[in-house]
Amino acid sequence: MELTFLQILWFILIAVLWIGYLTLEGFGFGVGMLIPIVSKNDRERRLALGTIGPHWDGNEVFLLTAGGATFAAFPAWYATMFSGMYTALVLILLLLIIRICALEWRGKINTAKWRNTWDTLHTTVAWLATLVWGVAFGNLVQGMAIEVGHYENGVFKAADPNAVDAALKAGDNHFLTGGFFSLFTPFTVFSGLVFLAIFATHGALYMAIKTRGEFSVRNMELAKKLTLVTVAGAAIWGLWANFAYSANALSIIPLLVAALAFIAAAFFAQQNKDVAAFFASFTAIAFAVVFVFLTFGANALKSYVNEKYNLTLVQASATSPTQTIMTIAAVIFVPIVLGYTFWAYKSFAARMAVENVPEKPAGLGPQVRAFETAK
């Protein structure tokens, strides 16, 4: 069966949602990772948190939308990937839960111990979640132990690779049979490390453009060094990914754009052009996502066991009425969502200096307010 227009469109839209998540939460994770490194005191930590405060929650919705869109447009992709990456996803979920609580509750009680606990958790989680996302995307590029078959009393029976279509018709499905530890290879672990470098750079640049004064300068100085690590790491990773794993000759194009954008980010950073450097980093991440999706498209999941076991988009696809309904919703609501998201960013566009952060932290003291009790 041929790919339909709607299937291609939804593959692109899912990539766009991941671009939204990784470019926007990318700096959110970066800020979380760098807070103890770039801030000298609690007031600066609060300044750093304030740069992502109004936005991180909206940014995270890109992930939820990507999950929902994958479920709706390509159910088999969603089912195979999420059940196959079970333990990795559990880890991600636990980390994201802690991150949300750390961000929301940190300012609720005004004691140093309370703040430090949540800050430590926030930073740890930002490092770990970035690493796990990197490993996960490394797996998408590299391919996984995907096989077609069925389970009989808990034992997997693989179908003949040359008779996959008939097997699928008879009730077999795609499964990731490798288990949790199969997700770790030198390439996927290296992907995790590259993600760390990219997000840290992105976060430093973001803090630089959202603040003024010494704090901004300090972030820029850090970003100057980080961009070099990122360019080197991303270059090795991109070449490795493209020539060892890409199933698609076109993938070289976004790779080149991403490479140029990473270099531009480093170049602008050295010249202290923080806004230009941030948007170059933004563009680089966006095209890196395009690259990742092209390395495995038009499959949904690539098998390293046998390429006949690949889960193709056609096999993974929902029916056309479902994709049509979703398209109508996307055409109407994506511009609206982007519109008010942009408005929200604009409302908080003014750069903040540490003087704009009140000396007294938010939150209630450890003791309940003393009340006069007349009787």
Partner 1 sequence: MNVDLARWQFGITTVYHFLLVPLTIGLSPLVAVMQTRWLKSGDQRWLRLSEFFGKILLINFALGVATGIVQEFQFGMNWSQYSLFVGDIFGAPLAFEALLAFFLESVFLGVWIFGRGRVSPKAHTASIWLAALGTNISALFILAANSFMQHPVGAVFNPETGRAELDGMGGFLKVIFSPTTLYAFAHTITASLLVAGSLIAGISLWWLVRRMNAGDTAEATNYWKPAAHFGLVTMLVSSLLVIGTGHFMGQHVGEIQPTKMSAAMGIYEGGEAHPLGLALTSTELGPDSVITLPIPGLESFAATNHFSGPDSYIPGTKDLQEQFAKQFGAEVNGMPVNYIPNVFVSFYSFRIMMGLGFASFILSIVGLAAIKGDKLPTSKGLAKLFIWTIPFPYIASIFGWILTEMGRQPWVVYPIVAEMGVKDSNQMVKLLTENAVSPTVLSAEIVISMLAFTLLYAALGIVWFLLVKRYAKEGINTNADYEVKPVDLKAEPNATLSFNY
Residues 324-353 that bind partner 1 (CB under 8 A): 324-326, 329-330, 333-334, 337, 340-341, 344, 347-348, 350-353
d(CA 86, CA 66): 17
Q: In terms of CB distance, is 5 or 86 closer to partner 1? A: 86
Q: In terms of CB distance, is 18 or 240 closer to partner 1? A: 18
What tokens does 293 get?
């999706």
- Smallest gap from residue 1 Cβ to partner 1 (A): 12
Interface residue with partner 1, options 9, 50, 124, 304 (CB under 8 A): 50
Interface residue with partner 1, options 22, 73, 159, 292 (CB under 8 A): 73
Burial group, residue 322, by CB count within 10 angstroms (0-12, 13-18, 19+): middle
Number of residues that bind partner 1 (CB under 8 A): 97
Q: Is 5 in the site for partner 1 (CB under 8 A)?
A: no
Return the DSSP state at 154: T
**Preceding omega of 298 cis (within 30 degrees of 0):** yes
Residue 214 half-sphere exposure, CB side, CA atoms within 13 Å? 6
Q: Is 374 in the site for partner 1 (CB under 8 A)?
A: yes
d(CA 40, CA 109): 21
Q: In terms of CB distance, is 169 or 243 closer to partner 1? A: 169
Residue 152, SS3?
A: strand
From the list 54, 126, 114, the residue with the least C-alpha distance to 362 is 114
Interface residue with partner 1, options 87, 111, 162, 271 (CB under 8 A): 87
d(CA 145, CA 179): 8
Residue 300, SS3?
A: strand
Q: In terms of CB distance, is 263 or 352 closer to partner 1? A: 352
Q: Is 55 in the site for partner 1 (CB under 8 A)?
A: yes
What is the x/- site pattern for partner 1, positions 134-153, by CB under 8 A? ----------------xx--
What is the x/- site pattern for partner 1, positions 288-327, by CB under 8 A? ------------------------------xx-xx-xxx-
What tokens does 279 get?
């948007």
Q: Is 94 in the site for partner 1 (CB under 8 A)?
A: yes
Q: In terms of CB distance, is 8 or 90 closer to partner 1? A: 90
- Smallest gap from residue 157 Cβ to partner 1 (A): 11
Phi, psi torsion values for 224, nearest 5 degrees: -55, -45
Q: Is 113 in the site for partner 1 (CB under 8 A)?
A: no
Interface residue with partner 1, options 9, 79, 163, 263 (CB under 8 A): 79
Q: Is 163 in the site for partner 1 (CB under 8 A)?
A: no
Neighbouring CB atoms inside 10 A of 8's CB total 13
State the residue for tokens 């923080």. 274
Q: In terms of CB distance, is 30 or 254 closer to partner 1? A: 30
Q: Is 84 in the site for partner 1 (CB under 8 A)?
A: yes
Q: Is 83 in the site for partner 1 (CB under 8 A)?
A: yes
Residues between 10 and 49 that touch partner 1 (CB under 8 A): 45-46, 49
Q: In terms of CB distance, is 96 or 256 closer to partner 1? A: 96
d(CA 337, CA 58): 10
Residues between 174 and 203 that touch partner 1 (CB under 8 A): 175-177, 179-180
Return the DSSP state at 160: P
Q: Is 362 in the site for partner 1 (CB under 8 A)?
A: yes
Residue 311, SS3?
A: strand
Return the DSSP state at 171: T
- Smallest gap from residue 7 Cβ to partner 1 (A): 13
Which amino acid is it at 152?
E
Q: In terms of CB distance, is 250 or 325 closer to partner 1? A: 325
Interface residue with partner 1, options 3, 9, 98, 257 (CB under 8 A): 98
d(CA 121, CA 129): 12
Which amino acid is it at 347?
S
Q: With residue 229 as reference, give the H or E element that holds it.
A: helix 213-240
> Does residue 122 contact residue 106 with C-beta atoms inside 8 Å?
yes
